[in-house]
Amino acid sequence: MSLENISQAKVFSGWHKQYQHQSSVLNCGMRFAIFLPPNAAQDSPVPILYWLSGLTCSDENFMQKAGAFEAAAKLGIAIVAPDTSPRGEGVADDEAYDLGQGAGFYLNATQQPWAAHYQMYDYIVEELPALIESNFPVSSVKSIAGHSMGGHGALSIGLKNQGSYCSISAFSPISNPMQVPWGQKAFSAYLGTDRDTWKAYDSVELLKRAQAQMPILIDQGDADNFLEQQLKPDALLAAAQQHNSQLQYRSQLGYDHSYYFIASFIAQHLDFHAKHMQAE
């Protein structure tokens, strides 16, 4: 699969690069960004943190706003930030910000017109890691993290693929999408009206079924205006307790849903993942 490098910049002695490629899973062109720390080399591959962004975002939001490069460079961790959905002419879309392009919800759509392109689960779990590992000086050791819709993606993907990731973290995740407006709208469109099929992508339901075998870190701002209506962390905590899952939840006083919040704690999340990556 050919990659086209569309931008690059040196940062903290590493490199931030953007690429585009044709995705066979999503049936469209896709873009992603990668940060390679200064110690990344073919004879010394580095572990990877996959970052999943939230509604309306692209690969650029985290890379430009989170301030993650200094810590990642020191820890020797690569960061990969994919786009949040398929895009382009002929890709189904919606006028609302919370459905369609920019709002893929990291699932495999089964309903038309979405099913033709919206296979983000397979893209994140299978196609993108294979592409990254075959083209960059990285190892197969990886963790996953995200924010809001991307926090939902990180949790649900990590919990369903516990042998593939060392750790999970999330900022302000949509924890119980089946029970909130954002998730109900997206799941109805992408998956149809059978709510049993939704459970495969709901982190609360996944934790009710089985223990999380890997450590999870969640940061949530207590001044987040989406907290009560859209995020539902209490349901996630209750589900985690059923099987004594390793979930650390931190309520952060005064923080909201923005990238100011993420920038304040991203170094701690990278430290968290580095510790568990090194244990591999």
Query: In this structure, what token pair is assigned to residue 97?
Result: 């910000």
148 as an active site residue: the answer is yes
CA 228, CA 20: separation in Å to the nearest integer? 37
CA 55, CA 199: separation in Å to the nearest integer? 21
Q: How does DSSP classify residue 26?
A: T
Amino acid 146 reads G
| Nearest C-alpha neighbor of 32 from the set 13, 12, 48 | 48
Q: What are phi and psi of 218, to 5 degrees?
A: -125, 130
Residues 220, 250: contact at Cβ < 8 Å? yes
- The one catalytic residue in 16, 147, 152, 257 is 257
Query: In this structure, what token pair is assigned to residue 39?
Result: 């110690």
Task: Write the CB contacts of 159 (distance below 8 Å, at least 6 apart in sequence).
Answer: 168, 203, 206, 207, 212
| Nearest C-alpha neighbor of 45 from the set 137, 170, 142 | 137
43 as an active site residue: the answer is no
- The one catalytic residue in 23, 58, 85, 148 is 148
- The one catalytic residue in 224, 245, 269, 276 is 224
257 as an active site residue: the answer is yes
- As annotated, the active-site residues are 148, 224, 257
